[in-house]
Structure 1
Amino acid sequence: MSTHLNNVVINPKDKHSATIIFLHGLGDTGHGWASTIAQIKPSFAKCICPTAPRMPVTLNGGFEMPSWFDLLTLDASGPEDANGIRRATEWIHSLLDEEIKNGIPSNRIVLGGFSQGGGLALHAALRYQQPLAGLLAFSCWLPLHKEYPAALAEANKNVPILQCHGDIDPIVPCQWGRLSAEILSRLTTKHEFKVYKGMMHSSNPEELRDARDFLAKCLPSV
């Protein structure tokens, strides 16, 4: 898969010194989050919002839609598409590698995502061999959690993580987020889990304010 496939790119207003890569949820496209992330990012940060390839999704009766990997069940302990997750992770790592090749140090890159994209962001960041600036995880879960701690890359043991979830999320239950948070808090040293009252499988102004503050802290002006 080309690293330039259907990427929505929002260039910085000031000199480019940081990059944010944000991954959408199932059935969405990079356009779905681009304007939102653009509103909360630092002025010197480029925003890349790629679109997942279309594929049949088992959970949705085999219908094709943009998806980072196949979803097989709503059961938190059920089978997962390990090969698909691995392929998607390799692609995200190639996006990170390309930014580094273009002059942005890994510790000036934040990776994030929503729902399925948030899960992939967690998975890809924790296995990346260079230290990232931060990790934003919205309304998601940690895929292949049984592979930890063995799968954790030492480089990102100390990556700052802001994990957010709505308390009445009907799609990815908040309990999934809590279980993932318990694992992440044991694996990493700078993990924070925030729950938003009355928020469903979406975002809200409070979450976005917290994300903006997190980005400002992870990506200070240089």
Structure 2
Amino acid sequence: MYIHENNILTAGIPLNEAKSAVIFLHGRGSSAEDIISLSRHLDIKYAAIFAPQAINNSWYPFSFIAPVEQNQPALDSALTVLKTLVDQIVASGIPLDRIFFCGFSQGACLTLEYVTRNAGRYGGVAAFTGGLIGREINMKNYKGDFAKTPVLITTGDPDPHVPVRRVELTETIMKKLNADVTTKIYAGRVHTISPKEIELAKSLIFKNI
């Protein structure tokens, strides 16, 4: 159960013609089709676009702040799907600094976990309502140098799934790895992606693609 396959929806420019790539990660109960439609709202027109599909529409079975062991082997499987996809994109000729990430909720958590475990100079990261994964944060998992990769993390206050304190801790850890992090916390915002967040992501993360 929860062993993910490389089931990836694509859109945008063909990979062999593109100069940039964007990886979208859907939330729990959602789908690749749903999250990839976000590319239109973000005005992403000139990139190869990828949206992996989680088995059973969920990347891992329990809350992202449950003990990591409870979310295995699903979590490691999901991280492997991402690593394989990134490697394929790089092998096609697109460098890390032209690879962008965008996730919502569970997909935002997985996005942040992957890039922070593999810190490098990416094009940019937009994490709508997410934070690093685990009841306790194991700093040994996180290494590398973001080299000022722009990162946007947003959430509501309160949010039913993502505590603000975890968002703030995630920001601190990513900044220690040299990420250029912008965090926006919206009082009373429900568990969704608001138009303000879309506009902020367009201006901070996706303005050059």
Scaled to the shorter chain, the TM-score interval is 0.7 to 0.9
| Residue in structure 2 matched with residue 205 of structure 1 by the alignment | 195
* 1:53 aligns to 2:44 (yes or no): no
Task: Report the CA distance between 1:129 and its aligned residue.
Answer: 6.4
Task: Report the CA distance between 1:157 and its aligned residue.
Answer: 5.5
CA gap 1:93/1:70 in 2 versus in 1, 3 angstroms: same
| Residue in structure 1 matched with residue 35 of structure 2 by the alignment | 33
| Residue in structure 2 matched with residue 11 of structure 1 by the alignment | 12
Which of 107, 112, 115 is matched with 2:97 structurally? Answer: 107
Using CA pairs under 8 Å that are at least 6 residues apart, name the structure with larger relative contact order, 1 or 2: 2
Do 2:27 and 2:103's aligned partners in 1 also have CA atoms closer than 8 Å? yes
| Residue in structure 2 matched with residue 67 of structure 1 by the alignment | 58
The CA distance in 1 between the partners of 2:143 and 2:67, in whole Å, is: 24
The CA distance in 2 between the partners of 1:176 and 1:96, in whole Å, is: 26
CA gap 1:36/1:212 in 2 versus in 1, 3 angstroms: same
What's the RMSD between the two structures over aligned residues? Answer: 2.4
Query: What letter corresponds to residue 49 of structure 1 in structure 2?
Result: A
Give % identity.
26
Structure 1: gaps of 5 or more residues: 55-65
User: What are the Cα deviations for residues 124-172 of structure 1, in whole angstroms up to 9, with x where unaligned?
Assistant: 1122265321111111120146221x32231436322111111232232
Task: Report the CA distance between 1:177 and its aligned residue.
Answer: 2.1
| Residue in structure 1 matched with residue 67 of structure 2 by the alignment | 79
Do 1:38 and 1:47's aligned partners in 2 also have CA atoms closer than 8 Å? no
User: What are the Cα deviations for residues 97-140 of structure 1, in whole angstroms up to 9, with x where unaligned?
Assistant: 11112221111001221111111111111222653211111111
- Farther-moved stretch of structure 1 (88-97 vs 151-160): 151-160
Structure 2: gaps of 5 or more residues: none
Do 2:35 and 2:51's aligned partners in 1 also have CA atoms closer than 8 Å? yes
Task: Report the CA distance between 1:16 and its aligned residue.
Answer: 2.0
